[in-house]
Structure 1
Amino acid sequence: MIGGGRVTEGSIHNRVLANLQRNLAKGAKIQDQMSSGKQINRPSDSPSGTVAALQLRAETRTSEQYSRNADDGLGWLGTVEDTLTSASSLVNRARDLTVQGLNSSTNGPQANEALALEIDQIRDTLITYANSRYLDRPVFGGNTTDPEAYDRTTGKFTGNPYDPANPTRTSVSRTVGNGVKVRVDLTGPEAFGDDTTGLFKVLSNISSDIRAGNTTQLGTDLQSLDNSGNKLKSAISEIGSRYNRITQMKESAQDRLASVSSQLSDIEDIDLPKTIMDMQLQQTSYQAALAAGAKVIQPSLIDFLR
């Protein structure tokens, strides 16, 4: 014959207290989740979930950095594009004045001087454009640390020229994706030409030839000016393509950020309605455990144990 297990008063008390403690611990855990809004408040809550959350947080930071880099790159390229567009308009005006200068034999000295003066003003304005800055850095100076890319008096390039054989050291780039770098600057010679045959030299020649009434040379100057204008248009097209690429990469980074944030929320964030229901059930369970413990452990017995 098998006898029943012996249950002592002490074992009953211990079990009741242990059950109450478990109920309190569960209630405290749910309360922590409701207070923080997170399912995972410490690694022990979910070791695998903690690892996944850390990985997703790293991806989140990376995507956010790509997006910030893209914003900075768009700022650079936007400044370059706006400047080149304004410069192209001035070149068109200079062309009109040059065509008028071809009639210098009939214009008269005063008219030619007025044309030459406006050409000089256009040249000075273009040099100012060539010294445009973004975040206090000259956008046409390459990776120079100088405040300006061109000498305001002579119009000579003083920045660092771009070297296609060594683009990393001679250009300004932004990392906008995994292994994706996009160049965001454009050096002065790439946009305005060099110091001997570039736009500023051409405008100086036009001004001098108009004053001298040298219509033969003005014809050559006009062709050189058209070449400079075409160079500006090509530069605008190139900058536009880079701008579009960075915009696409930024959108990709933002899409990835939204996806990772959603995955992280699934792992970390609580389901509020479910958590509230769990909390109410836990409170009901604890109250029932208290009531059951009060019936099992009579006051007189507790007094006796004390």
Structure 2
Amino acid sequence: MPGFRVTERSMATTTLTNLQMNLQRNQDLQNQLSSGKLITKPSDSPGGAVIAMQHRSDMATLNQYSRNADDGMGWLNMADTALTSASTQLNRARELVLTGLSSGTSGSDQAREAIALEVDNIRSSMIDLANTTYLDRPIFGGTTSGSLAYDKTGTYQGDNGEVNRSIGANASVRVDTNADSVFGSGNGNVFNLLQRISDDLRNNPSALDTDLADVDTAQKRVQTGLSGVGSRYNQISQMQQSAENRVLDLKAQLSDVEDIDLPKTITELSLQQTAYQAALAATAKVIQPSLVDFLR
């Protein structure tokens, strides 16, 4: 085989190139150790960078679902509180109707007037509960831009729109509560019922039997509404927990892609530094002074 001429210059060039590669590897390990990351730019690992970006995108989406769930649970918490109080108020109204029935037409006008005044107060309180707001929006008013679901006369001021929150890839839950389903609609709503009870206590005690049955119906509507609110709250809570668990899984997977193995990296850096020192020592022996150096 023909031989190849090896010059001092080619030896020096090759040796310096190898030293530079060794030094670059040393620097890469130091960068990894100082940053704690295997990937600091896409060129470090194109495939890993794509996976990391996808994980981050998925985490951002899941975190948004979790924030939506927080907002939805805020709406439903307010509805639960308002309907629980409304149920208590209706229980008291029922007791007052029974008191009016027990006294009948033979009871004193003053006693019935006192009961009627308390019913009036319950009606006013019920309207306030129906106007409960969350972040300045009435929770029983649909998508209305106004601040009230009912005016002082008990007339509905909202609309039939629904407030929904997306809590998963294919899951959307209504977080407001339909006013008609819990308070009744039109002239048959609970506010008109309480007004009628007040009028009957003052003027027509014999009609209280019918009023009592209507109060029981109104109470059932409120309790059904409470059950629906609780069911939706549980659904949102479970979906939020699922999203948070998935975020934890993605963080672990992202760490596997991006983060260094600390003990392994420290060991590699130590070995690399030892190798570099050995290469420097070997280079010093390989590149000896040439004839040119002696002629200077």
TM normalised by structure 2 equals 0.94
Structure 1's consecutive aligned runs of 4 or more residues displaced over 3 angstroms after TM superposition are 2-5, 298-306
Q: 1:116 to 1:298 in 2, by over 3 A?
A: same
The one-letter amino acid of 2:61's match is T
Letter in 2 for 1:157: Y
CA gap 1:107/1:273 in 2 versus in 1, 3 angstroms: farther
> CA separation of 1:303/1:125 partners in 2, compared to 1, >3 Å: closer, same or farther?
farther
Spell out, residue by residue over 1:5-33, the C-alpha distance to the aligned partner (whole angstroms, 9 max, x if none): 32211111112211111111111211221
Counterpart of 1:272? Answer: 262
> Residue 187 of structure 1: CA displacement?
2.5
8 Å contact kept, 1:104–1:112:
no
Counterpart position of 1:166: none
Say yes or no: does 1:210 pair with 2:209. Answer: no
**Closer/same/farther in 2, CA of residues 274 and 305 from structure 1, 3 Å limit:** farther
Partners of 2:206 and 2:293 in 1: CA distance? 122
Residue 264 of structure 1 and its aligned partner are, at CA, apart by 1.1
Mean CA deviation greater in 248-257 or 124-133:
248-257
1:293 to 278, 283, 286: 283
Percent identity, please.
51
For structure 2, the 5+ residue unaligned runs are: none
1:226 equivalent to 2:216? Answer yes
Q: Which amino acid in the other structure matches residue 140 of structure 2?
A: F
Question: Secondary structure, in 3 states, of the residue corresponding to 1:196?
Answer: helix
Give 3-state SS (helix, strand or coil) of 1:182's partner. strand
The answer (yes or no) to whether the contact 1:157–1:189 under 8 Å persists in 2 is: no
Instruction: Give the C-alpha shift of residue 106 in structure 1.
Output: 4.0
Shift in Å, 1:125: 0.8
Shift of 1:291: 1.6
Question: What amino acid sits opposite 1:192 in the alignment?
Answer: F
> Which of residues 156, 162, 173 is equivalent to 1:171?
162
**Partner letter of residue 111 of structure 1?**
A
1:181 alignment partner, SS class: strand
C-alpha displacement of 1:36 = 2.0
1:241 aligns with 2:231: yes
Q: Distance in 1 between matches of 2:114 and 2:34?
A: 77
The 1:154/1:303 distance shift into structure 2, 3 A limit, reads: farther
Count of paired positions: 295
- Say whether 1:250 aligns with 2:240: yes
Give the aligned partner of residue 143 of structure 2: 143
Aligned 8 A contact 1:104 1:210 in 2: no
Aligned partners of 2:239 and 2:289: how far apart in 1? Answer: 72
> Aligned pair 1:282/2:272, yes or no?
yes
Distance 1:139 1:303 in 2: 92
Structure 1 pair 248/96, CA: closer, same or farther in 2 (3 Å)? same
1:193 paired with 2:184, answer: yes
Rounded Cα–Cα distance in structure 2 between residues aligned with 1:301 and 1:75: 87
Distance 1:26 1:211, change over 3 A: same
Distance change in 2, residues 1:302/1:12 (3 Å):
farther
Taking a change above 3 Å as real, the CA distance of residues 240 and 302 of structure 1, as seen in their structure-2 partners, is farther
1:27-85 superposed Cα distances (whole Å, 9 cap, x missing partner)? 12112212222111111111111111111111111111111111111111111111101
Give the structure 2 partner of residue 81 of structure 1. Answer: 80
> Structure 1 stretches of 5 or more lacking a match?
162-169
Moved more, 250-259 or 232-241: 250-259
Question: What is the CA–CA distance in structure 2 between the aligned matches of 1:271 and 1:238, rounded to whole Å?
Answer: 50
Under a length normalisation based on structure 1, what TM-score does the superposition of the two structures give?
0.91
Q: Which amino acid aligns with 1:251?
A: Q
- Once the two structures are superposed, residues 226-266 of structure 1 have per-residue CA deviations (whole angstroms, 9 ceiling, x without a partner) of 11100000000111111111111111111211111111111
**Alignment RMSD:** 1.9
Q: Is the 8 A contact 1:137 1:147 kept in 2?
A: yes
Q: Per-residue deviation at 1:215? A: 2.4
**Do the aligned partners of 2:104 and 2:206 also contact (CA within 8 Å) in 1?**
no
2:66 maps to amino acid: S
